Amino acid sequence: MPPSAQSLRLRIRLVAGLFIGLFLVVAGRAGYLQVVLAEDLQARAEQQQQRVVKLSAQRGTIYDRNGEELALSLELKSLYADPGQIENPTALAAALAPLVEMSEKDLQRKLSEKKNFVWVARLLPPEQAKKIAALKRAGLNFVREHKRYYPRGQIGAQVVGFTGLDPRGLEGLELFYDADLQGAPGLLISARDARGRGMATAEQSVRGGEAGASLYLTIDRTLQYIAEKYLAQQVKSSQAVGGTVVMLDPKSGRVLAMASVPNYNPNAIERYQPTDWRNRAVTDAFEPGSTFKAFVVAAALEEGLVNEKTRIDCERGRFDVGGKVIRDHGKKHGLLSVSDIVKFSSNIGAAKLGKRLEREKLYQYIRAFGFGAQTDIDLPGESAGILRPADRWFEIDLANISFGQGIGVTSLQLATAMAAIANNGQLMKPYVVEKIVDGQGSVFSQAHPQVVRQVISEKTARRVRRMLTQVTEAGGTGTGAAIQGYRVAGKTGTAQKADLVTGGYSIDKRTASFIGMVPAEDPAIVVLVTIDEPQDVTYGGLVAAPAFSKIAEESLRYLDVAPTLSLARQALPVEKVSSAIKRGRVAATRDQAAGENQRMPNFQGMSYREVLQQMQRTGLNVRLSGSGQVVEQSPRAGEKITYGTEVWVRLGA
């Protein structure tokens, strides 16, 4: 029976509804794919159609405080190959091997791999890249990458550090600030076919990539050079195994120079041992010896237990404590004032001052000066030193720590603590990065001087500085640190090194040191010099103090810190005058300078050193400012003057 018209219409509607439903499903799916999943599918398609290789990022530049480049990224060419486009790998390997310093066998194997991308040689020197490009062989391509370069070589190397090929920071500031210095890497993009092979006609492009942030340091390249030069000379002349120098601005905590020997050149890092990379000024702890007496004296003065004239019985050089014997070196003293305990560096006197403070109080001051804790400087690998709790000290420990034995400090800790005395009792946090600037030139991090705490009063700090000046004057242990025209406050140190085999102290191994501030009245710099295991002569006053004198004198000239003393009136120890004359630093003594009714010399065009020599001969009271050669003077050349006349001299470029 044929279907009725109504039944037919129903079937048509059902079929139509089915088709409409299917259409809606297909349209919905298409819309979902094209709208919701569009971005993801497009990315997947690009991955299938493109070859993507991550390139090395461009790291930010590291500058010294004057904008001199200490580390930068050079743009060089890297060579890669597409083996699928190479017709004769053997012939190409023979031609290419001498230019990339690889064996033909290794290169042929690399060029024959079933890959569409292989690195052949990265970061090629320009001349080498030029020779390779001249081959004009299919399948070889270049891309630009960045290589870390250190234009000053070893200057500041242990502070700046170095990177790997990645390039990731591996030491120094390169490691500590790696996240800031590391830029965003670029991507090498090229098309490939359905089988994943590179297409010979495809264009390649580099996308993305952003330069990292740059660091501006507190380190001064010139001061760093001065520190490294004289430290290396002293280590060599004393046949020592190493040494350190730390130079601080005591008012701000800025590190102006930080040097270690052995040193290394980060441009040729493969030539050096890992032990050479270490920044000993922050990583290595040593017993400070007599330099530590300055802080014990400061604590005793602050507590009102003594004054400069308080007399202490130094027992004629031998003192029994806790079943052990403490001895003074050199002349054996009886009663000594506190000032003379510092001047002559009496171990017994310092031990008795420590006893007056007792364990807990001395421990509190040691901690307050920053010992036994990290300074939190922005450098990696900082040691906290060695300081046992006071409740674990025996009587002999109290005595030993009072003159710098039985405690471990870093060079940075010692310099920072002495800077507190230079800065009227305020301990400043040391730092090496002044500011961080992003790739667009905007400053996003700016360091500021930070007071950690007031350790001692301003009055006590001044009193300690006055006592420390006697160390570098006639009869003191640090006369080798004296500088013509400036009053130097400082302290010598000579400490036995621990013998790891016997567990006691070494018979012949010493750490010699000198730490000082200059000018003593208002210190512009604090400088610490340590010499590790000097041979023959081992005393800090004879080994480290002369290096301090050279470093500080040249640094003061560079910083335009004018002399605070009349050289004609400055009394130098006999031994210092003798050595100074031999070095050509002075031409005569005060007695030779006497004379009346002289004529004003003509200083025009003279150097700093020539002016100093002339001042000694004439007995003038000269005030110097600037650097370079003399461009102005008063009184004028040829005018009548008398001994001690005040003369003003300005130096310029």
Residues belonging to the active site: 290
What residue ranges in 131-199 does DSSP mark as E strands?
140-149, 184-191
Q: Are strands 140-149 and 69-81 parallel, antiparallel or unpaired?
A: antiparallel
Report the alpha-carbon distance of residue 260 to residue 255 in Å, rounded.
Answer: 14
C-alpha distances (whole Å) from 466 to each of 288, 358, 421, 462, 520 are 21, 25, 11, 6, 8
Question: For residues 612 and 586, is the Cβ–Cβ distance under 8 A?
Answer: yes
> Which among 202, 265, 214, 183 is positioned nearest to 68, based on CA atoms?
214
Which residues, including other chains, have CB under 8 Å from residue 77's CB and lie 6 or more apart?
123, 124, 126, 129, 142, 143, 144, 145
- Per DSSP, 207 falls in state E
Q: Which two tokens stand for residue 552?
A: 């500080």
617 C-beta neighbours (distance < 10 Å), count: 16
Dihedral sign computed on CA atoms, order 553, 554, 558, 559: negative
Question: For residues 176 and 96, is the Cβ–Cβ distance under 8 A?
Answer: no
Which residue is associated with the tokens 């024959």? Answer: 112
Which residues, including other chains, have CB under 8 Å from residue 44's CB and lie 6 or more apart?
none
Which residues in 448-461 are b (16+ Cβ under 10 Å) and which e? eeeebeebbeeebb
Question: For residues 417 and 308, is the Cβ–Cβ distance under 8 A?
Answer: no
Q: Which two tokens stand for residue 335?
A: 């009663």
Report the alpha-carbon distance of residue 564 to residue 573 in Å, rounded.
Answer: 18
Which residues, including other chains, have CB under 8 Å from residue 345's CB and lie 6 or more apart?
290, 293, 329, 471, 477, 491, 492
Which alpha helices (H) appear in 190-337, and where do they start and end? 221-237, 274-277, 280-283, 293-302
Q: Alpha-carbon Rg of the chain, whole angstroms? A: 35
> Which among 518, 618, 635 is positioned nearest to 567, based on CA atoms?
618
Helix (H, G, I), strand (E, B) or coil at 23: helix
Report the alpha-carbon distance of residue 527 to residue 551 in Å, rounded.
Answer: 8
> Which among 97, 44, 413 is positioned nearest to 255, based on CA atoms?
413
